[in-house]
A and B are shown apart, each in its own frame.
Chain A
Amino acid sequence: MSPEQHPLIRSRSWIPETRLPERPRWVEAEGGCGVVGLASSVPIAGRHIHGPLVQMHNRGNGKGGGIAAVGLSPEQMKVTRKTLDEDYLIQVAYLEPKVRSSLEDECIKPFFKVERKYKVETSTDDALLGRFDVRPPDVWRYFCRVKDEVLDRFIGRAGLEGIPRAKAEDEFVYQNSFKVNHKYYAGKEMQAFVMSHGRNMMVLKIVGYAEDVISYYKLDDVKAHVWIGHQRYPTKGKVWHPGGAHPFVGLDEALVHNGDFANYHSVTEYLAQRNIAPLFLTDTEVAVLLFDLLSRTYEYPLEYIIEALAPTTERDFELLPERKKKVYRAIQATHMHGSPDGPWFFIIGRNSYYERRFQLMGITDTSMLRPQVFALVDGDVQIGLIASEKQAIDSALDSISEEFPAVPKYADKYWNARGGSHNYGGAFIFSLHAEEGSGDMRLISTNKFGTSVAAPYSGWDHADDLALAKPIRKASGKGSYAADIIERKGAAPSFKAFVSSLKSASGDEVNSLFAGMVSYAQKGDSQREEMLRLLTLVLDRRYDTGRIRRSRLVQKATEALDATLRTAFRIEKNERSVFQLIDIKSRRKLRPPESPYDKLVVDCRGFPMEGEDGVSFIIVKARELGWNLAIVFGAHGQRFIGCGMGPRSKGFRMDIYGSPGDYLASGLDGAEMRVHTNGQDQLGQILADGKLVVYGDVGQTFLYGGKGGEAYIMGSAAGRPLINAVGRPKVVINGTCLDYLAESFMAGNPLYGGGFAVVNGVAFDGKGDLEELPEPYPGGNLFSLASGGAIYIRDPRKLVGEDQLNGGRISRLTEADWNLILPYLKENEKLFGISVDKFLLKVDGVKKHPENVYRKIEAVPMITLSGKTQMQDIGE
């Protein structure tokens, strides 16, 4: 007990002396999970987080689910605004309802002025109750403040005179809850525990799936500004308790976690030295206690908290400004032992009471080992979202937009965090604060360093956006605006007319255009084909969208496309048509095509995410039956699409719309797949042959273990693309990658038939114009330990340095190299409209010779990799 100890830490000196759990001291193994969080400027009803949780059902195993809500409504909480804002909202879960009176008498009544208490309502639906292996606890809600005399006594006894009274009160609540949990949960019998005790926030969790929390505790209509949800996948123990489910709380923050720490014991030890003892024995609890320590005790600003959790390392550290380096070095030296090691991703929702802010943040580990997607919706209603999968974000927005038409079904911006990055920091924070004057909530999103992150703003108009948001009217579209575009010969001229019209088109006009397209498509196969092509161009290309925002345009084009395809002839009707629609009801009616040009149109609505009733099996079967063309639309997270066709898939082409799930096209061996949206994680693993085109970004481990084929990515790849790829894959990535591109690449010599990746390092801005990214490759690991293949990187400003390489070498682009990659860049131009001559070869408006624009990163023989024999070129 050194005198330098922080008073709060000193006040907890009794904690280590309590006898800790006598149950086996194993850590409840966490494994992975599905996590989602959203922060909105308007209160959002709980039912909107139901959808994403259902869609990430397969990320949990029903052994734990939970939600947290921050920024609640006083009416729904049955208290006054003042009480909600000022009082602690203590929620106690009674596993054994009979202990309630003794717990209240012992731990609540003597210490708190209870403003209001009541039992949280629960569902009586038998079907729902039948799903629970473990009965969910009865939860009682107490709105209360610490009694003055109790607090005085506490301050005197604990020696907290030096700190603000409010913070001492926080500490009292924290320690009191520890006492409750220690006595009623961590002892021999698990009878009750405190689920949450922060102000204006609550946690509810059960043994079961997270979506059932919403149903059981009747949260469908409960409104909050910030929601986080968690599907748990624990793997140990036969008997689970809701106490082990996420979220966990510190004081006024709730945390959910995907991943697990390798150094749980070290972090626990670090906490023990600061008189903090976990009681629930999961690494998530440890994580939130760590956050609480850094935030409430040490009062670090958020940036430093994040640095202490996920330290900036290696090259990124070197690139920090000197002043920052000094601070970070000190933080790392002090807190390294408490820094969680291993794969983890935290989503934290908190009521930052002293700053009057509700916050949602996502923090990724330095090596980015867990999947994460961030998204932002701007406008009248602002929403920040974080999830394990993009499709979960889309699902939440789909649901919210039903209630708030101002919210489009797709976000204005999606992005991944690069862990420990020197420029963004690997963490993003959505902060809600009341605007002065109106009192309306506004959302600010920032990165770790506090720099704001905004959605690309193209100057769109709110009124037009809302006009377009209206449902597409049936059989309208007679207006001259629509007719002028639709009736042009061919999709390309129509599209050109559409783009040029957008500068002045109103929301109503565009709405009527989509309506016109849908009804025009009903006229026949060729009309449907033409509209399909036009809508595909609308979705695929980037251009100035004028008074309409792009996300809205994508939403409406997708709706129009869905309507166009859903009205195709159903397969079981055996009508003569090129388009044959199959959906969940008719999935067993699949039959051979009547002509080789027939297109199988698969409506993903209602299909499960995986398994033998899934979309991927329909595609495999269709290929076996002789279909050459397929259109998969309305995808909402379905996994493995395009897997399993095997080498017989050459000549097969598939177009995908919606939000397809993980492992798309993994194992592709000959077919062509076009993804008219962003891809998720594990795209094109072991891709052997064929062509994969993605009109958007791709997630983690893209083309892991790839063997060949061609892939074109319009946007960027997240971490670890092309890792361990061999053979002859040929890849064009127009954006960049977060890190670890082409680690252990072994694809021979590209000039003699081997593989390569072209990284262009460019992106479209909000106006649809191309621009160079600030760095063509931001990561600290490029082409590490590669023994073959090459990276061709567009880097006219020579920003890529040897310090990013680990074994490779940067060399000059030769004529042969340029001749090799040019055809692929030309194909890239055809696909995405990214011109080689007009854009890629131009630097500051001046056309340059390719060797001054592109640089080659190639393998060099390394002692670590070669045996006694030198590396040789492999030829074909």
Chain B
Amino acid sequence: MTSSKDIHAAAYPAIALDPSERLRFMNCHSVTRADTCISCGMCESLCPYGVHRRVEGHAKILPPDDRKCIGPSCSVNYFFCVANCPTKSLSVGPSDNSRSLGDPRWPADVVLATWRMAETGKPMSLDDPANCGLSGGGFDELRFVLPSKKTRYDPEDISVSVDLNRRGTGEKITLPVPFYGGGMSFGSISVHTMLARLKAAKTWGTFICTGEGGYPALLVPFKDNIVLQIATGLFGVREETIQRSRIIEFKYAQGAKPGLGGHLLGDKNTPDVARMREAVPYTSLFSPFPFHSVYSVEDHKKHLDWIESVNPKAILSAKVSTPTDEDMVAVGSYYAGAHIVHLDGGYGGTGAAPEIAKKNIAMPIEYAIPKVHRFLEVEGIRDEITLIASGGIRTAMDVAKAIALGADGVVIGTSELVALGCVRCGNCESGRGCPRGIATTDPELERLNPPDWGAERLDNLYTAWRLQWCELLARLGMEDISELSGRTDLLRYRDRPAKEVGR
């Protein structure tokens, strides 16, 4: 275990602190100071967070730095500035950001915390409410049972790596972090966004899936970190792209929209995208559901054998959504020769996935993971296949919960976009709808997001996440994240603390 850790420890990048002008205002709370302030300095002396500051020699106190404020919940503290102000000049409330951002799945706290981690590389504490959303279901209802005592530990002693290939065939690939990036195609996101993700993935030794439709030549230098997706439209799939990829993902279905193929609406199918996919520009591109050549498990095996005959070294991942018989799909994939079973639950999906499908068709991922995990154990093949979960995994704690439920690792998507500044406005399907230039193929809009800047923000996010996992594992007395896999005994439902999850 130490050996893999040694290798990977050196690979972790340093935190980059390149402040973002655009995302500077990531305050959750707004602190206002009325004109009645007499600059007595009481607030400065009280606030332990450094919201209020007075520069030596200045008569007036500086405007409050409300990014540091912990909000109205501070009122329980003796140092709560609002209560202590002699002239009652201070007030605190939600910020404009916090009022305008978010939804129950991605509340403003979570968006802002992700921005903060992407900006600073500093982890959230494990009990920060921003580790969870407010959806009332899924990972939001699960909590780790943590020993109250904090232990001292060195993050370098803790391994968060995951083996992707546990079979005898194909290349051995170990990720130093328990995640790789999910499939978002050229067309759905800008080439800058793809580059940012890939640069970060290269630094971290992990992978990014290119989604359907192939990828532009600009990304070829990153081929060692690319997961090639073979989706039902077979767009952009050629023998050469198959041969240069180390991991091939068969997208049978997407958890956000099971039973629907991929779709790229006409506006985003710009001439560049159309050239890549060899289709007609500005027409909507629909991938069928399912593969027309795969209607059963022996077709599935044949399909995998085909790719193996084109690239025998590649490791194969079967991405499936979570129907009720997903356990049998997983076993079928194992016998067909897949190295990875990738379960995609229903909480994910960008704004482009139809609302009616999102969250409404697939089985919730927190039920799907333990079901498959246990079934594979009963079959006696759990140790030979890597179980990857995805679909609405937003935070480091979501990752840890997915692993504790039985996954080996996860695939993330939306959280990376949020780190790049996504405001979750949900206009992903329109050509010029993305205010941050992330989910667009418009050459003008995509300039909003320089790839190097994006890569740094992702580096920072990954750093913060890794430190969170290290702390979690240390507190649980573990040294390797694989020890966490399948430990549902460590999870409790929020309202039913006594009931172990999944039992």
A343 touches B296 (CB 8 A): yes
* A723 interfacial contact with B, CB 8 Å: yes
Task: Note all chain A residues with C-beta closer than 8 A to B233.
Answer: 705, 724, 744
State how many residues of chain A have any CB contact under 8 Å with chain B.
76
CB contact between A869 and one of B234, B237, B266 (< 8 Å): that residue: B266
B284 touches A60 (CB 8 A): no
Known: A32-B296, A58-B298, A788-B279. A667 touches B288 (CB 8 A): no
CB contact between B280 and one of A59, A235, A707, A746 (< 8 Å): that residue: A746
Known: A236-B328, A688-B239, A705-B234. A616 touches B309 (CB 8 A): yes
The B-contacting residues of A in range 557-580, CB under 8 angstroms, are none
B325 touches A29 (CB 8 A): yes
The B-contacting residues of A in range 676-713, CB under 8 angstroms, are 681-682, 685-686, 688, 700-701, 704-705, 707-708
* B219 interfacial contact with A, CB 8 Å: no
Q: How far is the CA of A681 from the CA of B296 in the complex (A)?
A: 14
B276 to chain A, nearest CB (A): 10
Task: Note all chain B residues with C-beta closer than 8 A to A666.
Answer: 306
A868 touches B310 (CB 8 A): no
A687 to chain B, nearest CB (A): 10
* Total inter-chain residue pairs, C-beta < 8 Å: 200
The B-contacting residues of A in range 338-382, CB under 8 angstroms, are 343, 369-370
* B470 interfacial contact with A, CB 8 Å: no
Q: Interface residues of B toward A: which range?
A: 35 or more
A704 touches B234 (CB 8 A): yes
Known: A31-B296, A688-B238, A707-B278. A643 touches B283 (CB 8 A): no
Q: How far is the CA of A708 from the CA of B278 in the complex (A)?
A: 10
* B355 interfacial contact with A, CB 8 Å: no
Interface mask (A718-739 → B, CB under 8 Å = 1, otherwise 0): 0010011011100000000000
* A865 interfacial contact with B, CB 8 Å: yes
B335 touches A663 (CB 8 A): no
B272 to chain A, nearest CB (A): 12
CB contact between A370 and one of B295, B308, B431 (< 8 Å): that residue: B295
* A627 interfacial contact with B, CB 8 Å: no
Please, which residue of chain A has its CB at the minimum distance from the CB of B334?
A: A235
* B282 interfacial contact with A, CB 8 Å: yes
Stretch at the interface among A156-164, A644-652, A795-803, A832-840: A644-652
Q: How far is the CA of A723 from the CA of B378 in the complex (A)?
A: 40
Task: Note all chain B residues with C-beta closer than 8 A to A688.
Answer: 238-239
* A864 interfacial contact with B, CB 8 Å: yes
Task: Note all chain A residues with C-beta closer than 8 A to B300.
Answer: 31-32
A238 touches B309 (CB 8 A): no
Known: A32-B299, A34-B298, A785-B286. A643 touches B309 (CB 8 A): yes
Known: A60-B298, A233-B298, A788-B280. A644 touches B305 (CB 8 A): no
Q: How far is the CA of A298 from the CA of B431 in the complex (A)?
A: 59
Please, which residue of chain A has its CB at the minimum distance from the CB of B431?
A: A867
B288 touches A744 (CB 8 A): yes
Interface mask (A609-631 → B, CB under 8 Å = 1, otherwise 0): 01110101100000000000000
Known: A60-B298, A682-B293. A644 touches B310 (CB 8 A): yes
Task: Note all chain A residues with C-beta closer than 8 A to B331.
Answer: 235-236
A724 touches B335 (CB 8 A): no
Q: How far is the CA of A685 from the CA of B233 in the complex (A)?
A: 11
CB contact between B286 and one of A612, A744, A747 (< 8 Å): that residue: A744
Q: Which of A614, A617, A643, A867 has the most CB of B within 10 A?
A: A867
* B380 interfacial contact with A, CB 8 Å: yes
The B-contacting residues of A in range 848-876, CB under 8 angstroms, are 859, 861, 864-872, 874
Q: How far is the CA of A346 from the CA of B265 in the complex (A)?
A: 39
Q: How far is the CA of A369 from the CA of B244 in the complex (A)?
A: 32
Known: A58-B298, A616-B309, A869-B266. A726 touches B278 (CB 8 A): yes
* B242 interfacial contact with A, CB 8 Å: yes
B240 touches A724 (CB 8 A): no
Known: A58-B302, A238-B380. A867 touches B296 (CB 8 A): no
* B224 interfacial contact with A, CB 8 Å: no
CB contact between B235 and one of A369, A726, A747, A788 (< 8 Å): that residue: A726
Task: Note all chain B residues with C-beta closer than 8 A to A31.
Answer: 296-298, 300, 328, 332
B267 touches A867 (CB 8 A): yes
A600 to chain B, nearest CB (A): 18
Please, which residue of chain A has its CB at the minimum distance from the CB of B324?
A: A26
Task: Note all chain A residues with C-beta closer than 8 A to B237.
Answer: 686, 705
B293 touches A681 (CB 8 A): yes
Name 27 interchain pairs, CB-CB below 8 A, sorted by A: A30-B296, A33-B298, A235-B331, A236-B331, A258-B296, A343-B295, A370-B295, A610-B309, A616-B309, A617-B312, A646-B310, A666-B306, A667-B242, A669-B238, A669-B240, A701-B292, A720-B292, A723-B288, A724-B232, A724-B235, A744-B288, A748-B279, A787-B279, A787-B284, A788-B283, A867-B266, A871-B282
Extra contacts, 17 of them, besides A640-B305, A872-B281 (Cβ < 8 A), are A31-B297, A31-B298, A33-B296, A58-B301, A235-B335, A259-B295, A260-B296, A617-B312, A645-B239, A700-B292, A701-B292, A705-B233, A705-B235, A707-B278, A726-B279, A744-B286, A746-B278
- Where the two chains meet, the residues of A that have a C-beta atom closer than 8 Å to any C-beta of B are 29-34, 58-61, 233, 235-236, 238, 258-260, 343, 369-370, 610-612, 614, 616-617, 639-640, 643-647, 662-663, 666-667, 669, 681-682, 685-686, 688, 700-701, 704-705, 707-708, 720, 723-724, 726-728, 743-744, 746-749, 785, 787-788, 859, 861, 864-872, 874
The 9 A-B residue pairs with the shortest CB-CB distance, nearest first, are: A867-B266, A705-B234, A32-B296, A31-B297, A727-B278, A32-B298, A235-B332, A867-B267, A746-B279
